Amino acid sequence: MEESRPVLMEVTRLWKTYGAGDARVHALRDVSLAIRGGEFVAVMGPSGSGKSTLMNILGCLDRPTRGSHRLLGAEVSELSASRLAEVRNRTIGFVFQAYNLLPRTSALANVQLPLLYAGAPRRELRRRAAAALARVGLQARAQHLPSELSGGQQQRVAIARAIVNRPRVILADEPTGNLDTRTSIEILKLFQELGAAGITIVYVTHEPDVARYASRIVVVRDGEIAEDRPQAPAVARPSLEPAS
């Protein structure tokens, strides 16, 4: 990655410790990592190695025990709660393994939620949510409930929700963990398209087959970064069947 790209998020000598005394767990130990604009990063590592802890701190969903965490150059611990919420909502979209959609609410209404939080004008909500759903190929499913959608479609709704505020970064924690291989590759293809459109992508996966699509691999082991290297990304090919 070119050094000229701006650093969007950075942790330096970061520690995260849970519990106390004999029950103390160092989930992250002295981790330093910078994510630059335009990167496409796969975070790998065994279960319990600290991947989610790292993602949650990068996403400002959790706070470090010690060390520095910067978002767009600002030290996160020095931001007021309201300023942090504003910067986070504008900068970061989240995608989770379990989709985390509201069950009794249509795809369109799920995608509108972050716009409501961001205080977008009401007339804009529907238009922008519909555009985000179209971006992930689900315009025809806008009125469906999550239970009426396949796992891959639900995850695409979650991705539409993640991009509706036009974030600079998507943080995705095992986004394909509940999906079969073919569907996983469709999700990675979508990430590659979003990446080509300028969104920075950081995603966690256990699976080498899913990590192949990234241009940088970060391996976390026992709370430390064990490897951090560029790779030539595979190009995700779409299936020939209609995606929706």
Interacting residue ranges for ligand ADP, rule: CB under 6 A: 18-19, 25, 27, 45, 47-53
Q: Which amino acid is at 104?
A: R
* Cβ 173 to ligand ADP shortest distance, Å: 7
19 contact, one of ligand ADP, Mg ion, none, CB 5-8 Å limit per kind: ligand ADP
| Residue 154 binding Mg ion, by CB under 5 A | no
Q: How far is the CB of 24 from ligand ADP (least distance, A)?
A: 9
Q: Shortest distance, CB of residue 85 to Mg ion, whole angstroms?
A: 24
53 binds, among ligand ADP, Mg ion, none (CB under 5 to 8 A by kind): ligand ADP
- Answer yes or no: are the C-beta atoms of 106 and 161 closer than 8 Å: no
Distance in Å, CB of 169 to ligand ADP, minimum: 18
In the list ligand ADP, Mg ion, none, the entry touching 45 (Cβ below 5 to 8 angstroms by class) is ligand ADP
CB of 199 to ligand ADP, least distance (A): 23
C-alpha–C-alpha distance, residues 57 and 176, integer Å: 21
The radius of gyration of the chain from alpha carbons, rounded to an integer in Å, stands at 18
- Using the contact rule CB under 5 A, the part of the chain among 51-59, 85-93, 142-150, 231-239 near Mg ion is 51-59
Q: Which stretch binds Mg ion (CB under 5 A): 44-52, 81-89, 100-108, 234-242?
A: 44-52
Helices (H), the chain: 51-58, 81-91, 107-118, 122-135, 151-163, 181-196, 208-211
Beta-bridge mates of residue 229: 217
3-state secondary structure of 56: helix
- Number of neighbouring beta carbons within 10 Å of residue 244: 15
Q: What are 177's two structure tokens?
A: 């963990």
| Alpha carbon distance 43, 27 (integer Å) | 15
CB 175 within 8 A of CB 206: no
* Residues 26, 46 contacting (CB under 8 angstroms): no
CB of 16 to Mg ion, least distance (A): 13
**Residue with smaller CB distance to ligand ADP, 111 or 219:** 219
Nearer to ligand ADP, 189 or 221 (CB): 221
Query: Given candidates 41, 45, 50, 52, which one binds Mg ion under the rule CB under 5 A?
Result: 52
Query: Which residues are at the interface with Mg ion (CB under 5 A)?
Result: 51-52
